[in-house]
A and B are shown apart, each in its own frame.
Chain A
């Protein structure tokens, strides 16, 4: 790619998982709470990350700040976003410095099927990150995690189905995840 851009490797979830995400978003919109879709997605991502050996035992950050999920020395910021680029507002630089590795997990909700991507957030946090077909030269795509997370997230969502997507609140959705996926 030219102009300092390189190709993104955003992936799609399974069509079934995509249908469930779409339904979940529609339910949130019907309840006039579109912002709650982000919480639904975060819980599902935390659950799916926990199925990956490397991040087994990860947990969702109980606080309101970043990162959303913590797995040892790795922090995960989970975003659902409509649009090609995202502003990293907030004290990202300070938070980033607390973790050896920091990943941005995002879901493009303006595209159908939804597109999932995982970017490594560099030590110097950019103010704006492109989530489109191309990424800036300075950013790195974590393609392995993208692939693994895509598989695990699809399996997680397919396993909980509409019990999760139709839950009345993110907390209820998290309970569904914990109840149905208890080993």
Chain B
């Protein structure tokens, strides 16, 4: 049956439009500028439906819709894009031309079925998703409760123990998420040390520290006593040495020494003055007559001056030597007295300094004791042991304060040390008792930790076990059987798909491996002898190993990849497509037409001419069906028309006008400018 009419559908961009009376034409050329609707007019051939439909006439001249078999639609509609696909060898070209063989399509459909079956055949569980999550949480919490029995009984036993330690009461109950947490928190075992001890610890430490510092840096009272003894010893020694009286103490001795020093100094001065007088008398007597008489300065007897001179000289010489020694002794005595005075002053200063230190220390001791006394007053609720110990300490402190208003004595210091020792004992005992209490507290803390962990676990377990889910074993087994059956079917279909895929592959490589197909292709390409001798030399041998047997034997037998220009590619693909279509059309395999949409796109004029020659020369014997070609190229159309009429075909040339884009919908329709019919030219 031949195509008689093309009716455009409402979804067609150039709807409405109809092309009629085509049944008498063998070769229909649609000629029009770009945008005139050529491809739209031919679209019902590719995809019948809302884009339009193709009709033929039956024996009673009634219109009957024609459709190409789905698997051959791509074979029968050859777009320019398909013709420009890259081609490496003729086998690829034929694959491009026949890319939808039935078996391949069946294989694809079966594979799709397998995928859908596999996706629908998975396990269908109605298990609540929360169940797994709660189980994981439960196991994590359980792992933190190692070594104990995870029961409510254990939980309540721990609760009772903790409550007892806290002085509270614990009613055993099942831990529920809503109330257990707050109840558990009420059993936190708070640490309570020796009551009152921490409040007094600082004061005790201060007292102990002061006594320790006193021991470390020496006792002020001892230092004072030492200074006092040294001073007394010095006084005694000086009194003995200078025959002084010790009554009056150090100041009196100093006074006596200073007096002795003064007397000695006066004696030295008198002796000096006497020597000066003698020297003056000698000088005077030497100036007067030695026969004169004069009283002797020593015995006051009247005698001659010469006798007086003699006696004075003798006495002067006698006294002169002894006087020097005596004076030196007196001067040494003064130096000695000065040294003694310096010693006394130094000892006295030491004593004064030590006294001052002792007084300050005494004052500080008093302040500390008074301060500690005021702070170490027991309060209600303090530990009885601590209160008793503090009472003893307070008694000792009060006694010291009364007894030692002057604290510069060693006895005061000794008693202060005893008080500090007592305080140290209280402090040590307090710390010991605190450590014991802390040791007793640690197990309680561990118990509480365990108690809380167990509470968390039991709550999580309660929540987990409350999830309502029961496996329906009967339904599960039925599902299992269904899945097994489904798996068997899936395997069967997958095997069928694989068989068809292999079959399709084999068909593709072998379907056209026939002398008829080879001859058809050969005849087609040899028509390019004058235009492109190289192209005309291509051979199709249908071999599986096309790379080792290239069609381009005359140029480079070793070349594995054909290097074709775009025009040559189009021609090779066109030849392959027409060969496939011709074979299938002659075999009555559902190819009622061949449509070529713009076959000269991207071709130069020479190639375009070659394609016109080539396409137009296809005879009805070579391709026994109607050929539809759309083109914008008037020259190509005329050449095609002339070549086709010469090849014995009746040609219908349909001219389209430019279709206005963007116009109002009523103007967007197919505009046929004219239809021309050319009968065949028989030689």
Contact = CB atoms under 8 A, between A and B. Distances in A.
A16 B147 contact: no
Contact of B464 (A15, A155, A180): A15
B343 interface: no
Nearest to A17: B465
A15 B134 contact: yes
Contacts of A28: none
Interface stretch (B17-25, B387-395, B442-450, B467-475): B467-475
Interface in A2-61: 7-8, 10, 12, 14-16, 18-20, 22-23
B131 interface: yes
Contact of A112 (B127, B146, B150, B457): B127
Nearest to B136: A19
Given A133-B474, A161-B145, A19 B150 contact: no
Contacts of A166: 143
B438 interface: no
Contacts of B149: 159-160, 180-181
A115 B470 CA distance: 10
A20 B139 contact: yes
B143 A162 contact: yes
A16 B473 contact: no
B135 interface: yes
Interface string A82-115: 0010000000000000000000000000011101
Given A84-B477, A133-B477, A162-B142, A15 B470 contact: no
Given A161-B145, A161-B150, A16 B464 contact: yes
A105 to B, nearest CB: 17
A181 B149 CA distance: 7
A120 interface: no
Contacts of B135: 15-16, 18-19, 22
Nearest to A111: B471
Interface in B478-532: none
Contacts of A142: none
Interface in B129-166: 131, 134-136, 138-139, 142-143, 145-151
B471 A115 contact: yes
Contacts of A134: 474
Interface residues of B, number: 28
A132 interface: yes
A169 B323 CA distance: 123
Q: Give chain A's interface residue range (CB within 8 Å of chain B).
A: 20 to 34
B671 interface: no
Nearest to B465: A14
B465 A19 contact: no
A158 B470 contact: no
B476 interface: yes
Contacts of A112: 127, 471
B465 to A, nearest CB: 5
A15 B465 contact: yes
Contact of B473 (A14, A23, A133, A158): A133
B151 A159 contact: yes
B150 A158 contact: yes
A161 B151 CA distance: 10
B649 interface: no
B461 interface: yes
Interface in B101-144: 127, 131, 134-136, 138-139, 142-143
A160 to B, nearest CB: 7
Residue in B145, B151, B457, B469 with the greatest tally of chain A CB atoms within 10 Å? B151
B364 to A, nearest CB: 65
B148 A180 contact: yes
Contacts of B473: 8, 10, 111, 115, 132-133
Residue in A8, A14, A113 with the greatest tally of chain B CB atoms within 10 Å? A113
A8 B145 CA distance: 37
Contacts of A180: 148-149
A22 B139 CA distance: 11
A87 B464 CA distance: 35
Interface string B194-230: 0000000000000000000000000000000000000
Given A19-B139, A115-B473, A133-B474, A159 B464 contact: no
A158 B477 CA distance: 29
B473 to A, nearest CB: 4
Contacts of B474: 7, 133-134
Contact of A161 (B136, B142, B467): B142
B275 to A, nearest CB: 122
A158 B461 contact: yes
Contacts of B476: 111, 133
A22 B136 CA distance: 11
A180 to B, nearest CB: 5
A22 to B, nearest CB: 8
Contacts of B471: 12, 111-113, 115
A16 B465 contact: yes
Contact of A16 (B148, B461, B469, B477): B461
A134 B138 CA distance: 33
Nearest to B127: A112
Nearest to B467: A15
A159 B153 CA distance: 10
Contact of A160 (B150, B464, B470, B477): B150
B146 A15 contact: no
Nearest to A14: B465
Contacts of B464: 14-16, 19
A119 to B, nearest CB: 15
A84 B135 CA distance: 26
A112 B135 CA distance: 13
B461 A163 contact: no
Contacts of A12: 470-471
Contacts of A18: 135
Contacts of B145: 161
Contacts of B457: 161
Nearest to A110: B480
Contacts of A163: 146-147
A82 to B, nearest CB: 12
A166 to B, nearest CB: 8
Contacts of B134: 15
Interface string A152-171: 00010011111100100000
Given A15-B135, A111-B471, A161-B143, 13 more contacts: A15-B134, A16-B464, A18-B135, A113-B469, A132-B473, A133-B474, A158-B150, A160-B149, A161-B457, A162-B142, A163-B147, A166-B143, A181-B149
8 contacts: A14-B464, A15-B131, A19-B136, A19-B138, A111-B471, A134-B474, A160-B150, A180-B148
- 7 closest A-B pairs by beta carbon, nearest first, are A133-B474, A19-B135, A161-B142, A133-B473, A162-B143, A14-B465, A162-B142
